[in-house]
Amino acid sequence: MEIQAYLRERRELVEAALARLMLSASGPFARHIEAMRYSLFSGGKRLRPILCLAAVDAVDGSEAARQGAMPPACALECIHTYSLIHDDLPAMDDDEFRRGKPTNHTVYGEAEAILAGDGLLTWAFELLSGKATAGLPEQARLAIIQCIARAAGPLGMVGGQSLDMLYQGRDAGYDVLHSIHKSKTGALICAAIEAGAIAAGASREQTRALHDYGAQVGLAFQIVDDLLDLESTMEELGKSVGKDVEAGKLTFPAIFGVETSHIMARDAVGAAQKALADFDEKADPLRALARYIVERRK
Amino acid sequence: MEIQAYLRERRELVEAALARLMLSASGPFARHIEAMRYSLFSGGKRLRPILCLAAVDAVDGSEAARQGAMPPACALECIHTYSLIHDDLPAMDDDEFRRGKPTNHTVYGEAEAILAGDGLLTWAFELLSGKATAGLPEQARLAIIQCIARAAGPLGMVGGQSLDMLYQGRDAGYDVLHSIHKSKTGALICAAIEAGAIAAGASREQTRALHDYGAQVGLAFQIVDDLLDLESTMEELGKSVGKDVEAGKLTFPAIFGVETSHIMARDAVGAAQKALADFDEKADPLRALARYIVERRK
């Protein structure tokens, strides 16, 4: 399959769904919603929603199944966007550019950027529990909320970001690096796959296999992210580069060197492919996405 | 009924449930969880959980019903606590004291305070969708998540805080003040009552009446909060006072004067009592709580 065409088509589906579901910037809270929309509609890769929908396809290739998973897919993107807004804050990574545009706090100020993040996070759960997901069984809706909240919460993404800040400029080994990235990036990517599996009514075996795929893809994604920060240019990446070294962050290339990190990323993607062994060609998009994740340039 | 004894007893129940449900500060994310716990266990009034449980009692006085509503009651307190941590940040109200103790960012730094807030907010939804609420019907669990997310989200508490920041030092009329306080404080107090009603299986009429009660009590609470900031001392309140005037905030006494504000608070409590007209003595705690809200000194 042609991955670029696939990504473009899927990104357009996700953009359309986000545009349809997201609050419009009117009424008394117009400025707040505008700040949320600014970061949500700023040309992200939409990788988490795309992974979620591809997991649905692997289990149940019907259009109805894909439609049912679209609101959870959008909620994942809202949570990812909130995490970027908060990560970029002056008190955190202090970044001025993201996706080639000024960061949220640069445009709306620090207070509103904190609130825009809070708003996106909370709204994701409003979306997950509301009318938009009413077509899914109640048990599945609760399981999806649980899976996403856990992945985004104190033992997942937020905890990982906290650990990342805590270890800046400090020496630590692979176990800490692994904890950071498994939670900070891996958990939400894994939850995207799992939410798709739940929405599509996957069997226990399928769910386990997709979970393994998600864990490996999440790991590969983070290693490549660390490498891109080192090897890419700001024009390619749309955000400041070389920040990890500058901030003394614990990264894969910092611990293992560039060459070994590349090998580790490829190994993780190999393991991800292996996890899909029992799936038929409906999982081909997941297979292609795993390859894309190590080959991407941004 | 003796309100102080009632509040003390209920507060102890809520403290015990929070202590049982909340993550313990161990493992790789120990410091992050410690920061969450620092603010969560800092001697709050636990008013939202207490209101939630009192709404349950008004509908179904059984111990089982109260136990079933305890996790949602605790989730409300986590969300309230997260909002205080973020409100206190230097970029927001820049407060050094809260509940008589240094604010979260004063102790853990700005980055961790942002993340501790994010963690508490996300964990609230983990709690609401997980094992802890498994005793409630699935439909009720989803309805509670929806009600709380909506109240805390961009059209509720977060939106209200954004508006509050936006209008600092600016002249505006009662409609803006009303929007701010209805969303910033009123919405979550109202959601506490509604979540209790849903958990207890209230009828449509009961839910409507309790919603009206919640809206009036939320309004009274905010008016009294504004008055306390003006009339209280830091020793009484446990947080800095006179900050509203200093920051040029839109408050009830600023627009209506102190005397009229007192009358408005009493009127709102009167309307709250009226909304409970069709309830029997099981709603006496709600009635007493409404009176307490205008008479409290902190």
A170 has a pLDDT exceeding 80 = yes
The amino acid that residue B228 corresponds to is: L
Phi, psi of B70 (to 5 degrees): -65, -45
Question: Which A-chain residues 260-289 have CB contacts (< 8 A) with chain B?
Answer: none
Tokens of A278: 């029992």
Q: Do B158 and A119 touch (CB under 8 A)?
A: yes
| Average predicted confidence (pLDDT) for chain A | 94
Residue A203, pLDDT above cutoff 90: yes
Q: How far is B281 from chain A (nearest CA, A)?
A: 34
Using CA of residue A53, residue A55, residue A59, residue A61, what is the dihedral sign?
Answer: positive
CA distance B4 to chain A (A): 34
**What pLDDT digit, counting tens, does each position of B186-218 carry?**
999 999 999 999 999 999 999 999 999 999 999
| Of A88-102, A174-188, B71-85, B228-242, the least confident | B228-242
The pLDDT tens digits of the residues spanning B68-94 come to: 999 999 999 999 999 999 999 999 999
Three-class HEC string of B101-156: EECHHHHHCHHHHHHHHHHHHHHHHHHHHCHHHCCCCHHHHHHHHHHHHHHHCCCC
Contact with chain B for residue A174, Cβ under 8 A: no
Domain boundaries, chain A: 3-295
Residue of A21, A29, A182, A188 best to disrupt the B interface, most CBs of B under 10 A: A29
Residues B236 and B192: their CA atoms lie apart, in Å, by 26
Q: Could you write out the DSSP letters of every residue in A215-252? A: HHHHHHHHHHHHHHHHH--HHHHSS--SHHHHTT---H
Question: CB of A155 within 8 Å of any CB in chain B?
Answer: yes
Phi, psi of B170 (to 5 degrees): -110, 150
Contact status of A104 with chain B (Cβ, < 8 Å):
no
> Greater confidence, A176 or A153?
A153
User: Is the CB of B106 inside 8 Å of chain A's CB atoms?
Assistant: no
pLDDT tens digits, one per residue of A279-291: 999 999 999 999 9
Q: Is B159 near chain A, with CB under 8 Å?
A: yes
Q: What's the token pair of residue A29?
A: 């809270």
Q: Answer whether residue B236 shows pLDDT above 80.
A: no
- A166–chain B nearest CA distance, Å: 9
Lookup: tokens for A277: 């062994």
Interface probe with A: pick from B114, B144, B167, B180, most Cβ of A within 10 Å: B114
Tokens 């996700």 correspond to A14
Chain B residue at shortest CA distance from A119: B154
ipTM of the shown complex:
0.96
Q: How far is CA A168 from CA A98, A162, A212, in A?
A: 21, 10, 29
Determine the longest span between alpha carbons in chain A, in angstroms: 53
pLDDT digits (tens, 9 = 90+) for B156-171: 999 999 999 999 888 8
CB-based contact (8 Å) between B31 and chain A?
A: yes
Q: Chain A contacts of B86, Cβ < 8 Å?
A: 114-115, 118
Distance from C-alpha of A270 to C-alpha of B282, rounded to nearest angstrom: 63
* Confidence label for B243 from pLDDT (cuts 50, 70 and 90): confident
| Cβ-based neighbours of B8, under 8 Å, separated by 6 or more | none
- For chain A, say whether B26 makes contact (Cβ under 8 Å): no
A26 touches chain B (CB under 8 A): no
CATH of domain A3-295: 1.10.600.10
Q: Sort out which chain B residues have CB atoms less than 8 A from A183's CB and list them.
A: 28-29
Displacement of CA B78 from its chain's centroid (Å): 10
Predicted pLDDT of residue A3 = 94
Q: CB distance A123–B183 less than 8 Å?
A: no
Chain B interface test: which of A94, A106, A129 (most B C-beta within 10 Å): A129
CA angle A98, A15, B158 (to 5 degrees): 65
Contact B72, B52 (CB under 8 A): yes
- C-alpha to C-alpha distances, A91 to A113, A176, B35, B81, B231, nearest whole angstrom: 12, 22, 16, 20, 34
Say if CB A26 and CB A34 are below 8 A apart. Answer: no
With the CA atoms of A87, A89, A92 and A93 taken in that order, what torsion angle do they form, in degrees rounded to the nearest 10? Answer: 70
The set of residues, in sequence order, having a beta carbon less than 8 Å from that of B128 and lying 6+ positions away, is: A145, B71, B72, B75, B141, B144, B145, B148
A172-180: long-range pairs with CB below 8 Å, 24+: A172/A250, A173/A255, A174/A255, A176/A250, A176/B28, A177/A250, A177/A251, A177/A252, A177/A255, A179/B28, A180/A250
Coil/strand/helix, residue A177: helix
At residue A253, what is the residue type? Answer: P
Chain B hits for A155, CB-CB cut-off 8 Å, are: 23, 27, 29
Cβ neighbours of A158 in B, within 8 Å: 32, 115, 118-119, 122
